[in-house]
Amino acid sequence: MTDPLPPYVRAVFFDGGPLQAFPDDDAVRDFLADVMEDDAERYQVWAISSTDTNSADRTEAFCEAWAECFELGSGDDRETILRDYPDFIRAFIGDKLIAAYRAAQEAA
Q: Cα–Cα distance between 96 and 108 in angstroms, integer? A: 18
**How wide is the angle at C-alpha 94 spanned by C-alphas 76 and 85, nearest 5°?**
85
What's the full length of the chain, in residues? 108
Specify which residues 8 forms β-bridges with. Answer: 49
pTM for this model (two decimals): 0.85
The string of pLDDT tens digits covering residues 62-106 is 999 999 999 999 888 999 999 999 999 999 999 999 999 999 888
Rounded to whole angstroms, the Cα distance separating 44 from 15 reads 8
Which pLDDT value is given to residue 38? 87
Residue 38 phi/psi, 5-degree rounding, is: -65, -30
Beta bridge mates, 22? 10
pLDDT score of 7 more than 90 = no
Q: What is the pLDDT of residues 43-65, one digit of tens each?
A: 999 998 877 777 889 999 999 99
The structural domains of the chain, with segments of one domain joined by +, span 8-107
Q: 3-class SS at 60? A: helix
* 44 within 8 A of 57, measured Cβ to Cβ: yes
